[in-house]
């Protein structure tokens, strides 16, 4: 759904200025972005774009969480990365790819700013500081993906489930005053099983074990990580 309240656009544009993805832009370029962007909302479970679709837009997530994943040759979902509010995507393929390299699905109710990709690449090309920020974000994403792949290469179901919860905490979690990490979005065991590459039944058993060991809490689909040691298992 496209929002019809045009007065909201300036408010969101002002918010964009406070973040690295857009902060370095001068007034003229910010105005270009404001004039071209659309504010859209999506319900949970909607596909924003599919792997292989034309790479037409760059997105800034105003509210909610989305996940990105690849389809493998067998039609299975692979490599989950999550994006939370106040982050932008996709960075993979800038200036090069004609199509999106992965699928993005909304995990919650989502509100975002949609910006034409050619416009974003134009202002990116003309703003060195913005380019540096984009390169840093791409490096962060690549490092996170590589680490996730390395950690998931294990035959231990418990390690796979723990690592999946840990990565979720790193990607979309909030640090708490008591030192724990709260994942402030509902995460079903089915979804966690996809991330960990285990069955739903195995995931449930491993979560129960981690709860008994006081490493995590899981209440009404919300996780809290109690131990800040990623090798805790």
Each residue's pLDDT tens digit, 77-126: 777 789 999 899 999 888 989 999 889 999 999 999 999 999 999 999 99
Residue 104, both tokens: 């993005």
Residue entry with tokens 């008591």: 178
**Order of strands, edge to edge, in the sheet holding 103-106?**
47-49, 103-106, 65-71, 77-84
What stretches of 37-185 show up as alpha helix (H) in DSSP?
117-125, 128-151, 157-172
d(CA 225, CA 161): 12
Average pLDDT, integer, range 57-62: 94
Topology of domain 157-225, CATH: Arc Repressor Mutant, subunit A (1.10.10)
pTM: 0.83
- Domain-by-domain residue ranges, the chain? 7-151, 157-225
Residue 35 confidence class, pLDDT cut points 50, 70, 90? confident
Chain CA centroid to CA 24, Å: 22
Q: What is the DSSP string of 14-25?
A: HHHTTSTTTTT-
Residue 161 scores a pLDDT above 70: yes
Residue 12: the pLDDT is 67
The percentage of the chain sitting over the pLDDT mark of 70, rounded to a whole number, equals 89
Residue 147, both tokens: 């680490």
Residue 90, both tokens: 């996709």
* CATH number corresponding to 7-151: 2.60.120.10
């Amino acid at each position: 759904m496209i929002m019809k309240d045009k007065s909201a656009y300036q408010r969101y544009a002002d918010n964009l200025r406070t973040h690295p993805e857009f902060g370095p832009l001068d007034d003229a370029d910010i105005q270009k972005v404001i004039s071209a962007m659309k504010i859209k909302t999506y319900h949970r479970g909607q596909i924003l774009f599919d792997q292989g679709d034309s790479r037409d837009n760059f997105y800034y997530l105003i509210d909610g969480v989305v996940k990105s994943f690849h389809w493998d040759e067998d039609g299975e979902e692979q490599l989950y990365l999550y994006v939370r509010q106040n982050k932008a995507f996709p960075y993979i393929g800038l200036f090069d790819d004609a199509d999106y390299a992965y699928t993005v699905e909304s995990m919650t109710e989502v509100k975002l700013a949609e910006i034409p990709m050619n416009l974003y690449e134009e202002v990116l090309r003309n703003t060195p500081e913005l380019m540096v920020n984009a390169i840093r974000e791409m490096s962060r994403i690549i490092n996170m993906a590589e680490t996730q792949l390395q950690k998931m290469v294990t035959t231990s179901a418990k390690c796979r489930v723990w690592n999946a919860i840990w990565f979720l905490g790193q990607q979309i979690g909030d640090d708490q005053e008591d030192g724990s990490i709260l994942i402030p979005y509902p995460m079903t065991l089915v979804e966690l099983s996809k991330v960990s590459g285990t069955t739903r039944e195995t995931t449930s058993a491993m979560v129960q074990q981690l709860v008994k060991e006081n490493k995590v809490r899981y209440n009404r689909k919300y996780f809290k990580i109690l131990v800040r040691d990623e090798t805790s298992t």
